[in-house]
Amino acid sequence: MTGLSPRLAAIVDALPLRPGLRVLEIGGAPGAAAREVARRIGDGHVLVIDRSAKGVALTERTAAAEIEAGVLSVRRAAVEDFALEPGEEPYDLAFAVRVGALDGRHPDAGTRARQRIAAALRPGGKLFVDGGDPLREVALPR
């Protein structure tokens, strides 16, 4: 694994990844974790969402090869407003690192974010956030 801090490497290692998964990374700029996840899931797909136009542009630059290969895409969206696009397949799992709406810093946004994430995941899909050892699973409304 190249380009990942030890903390980010531990987080990616803790995700239950397997080939073919569709993974949603929330607040993923600049894309280091997403690129490593894409490498591990083979013919799966990673969507990185970030509320910042600068973060999206940075991810597009750092992950240009993965985007070109079709294994990674980037979208500007705040997690509390995120929705699948028409025809977009749901995701198998989602993860977030240092996202205020999911780590308790913004409880109202967190409620909306969990609803939006639940709607974007397949039945049984899971959300993982930092703050555990190194991750914790967050319960989603069903």
Q: What is the pLDDT of residue 1?
A: 44
Give residue limits of the domains in the chain.
6-138
Q: What is the pLDDT of residue 74?
A: 98
Burial class of residue 8 (count of CB atoms within 10 Å of its CB; 0-12, 13-18, 19+): middle
pTM for this model (two decimals): 0.95
Q: What is the pLDDT of residue 101?
A: 87
CA distance 1 to 69: 19
Q: What is the pLDDT of residue 104?
A: 79
User: Tokens 């569709």 — which residue?
Assistant: 22
Q: What is the pLDDT of residue 2?
A: 56
Structure tokens at 112: 């909306």
**CATH number, domain 6-138, options 3.30.70.1170, 3.40.50.1000, 3.40.50.150, 3.90.1150.10:** 3.40.50.150
Dihedral sign of CA atoms 76, 82, 87, 93 in order:
positive
Instruction: Provide the H-helix boundaries in 3-120.
Output: 6-14, 32-40, 53-62, 64-69, 107-120
For each of the chain's 142 residues, which pLDDT tens digit applies? 457 999 999 999 999 999 999 999 999 999 999 999 999 999 999 999 999 999 999 999 999 999 999 999 999 999 999 999 999 999 999 999 989 888 878 888 899 999 999 999 999 999 999 988 899 999 998 7
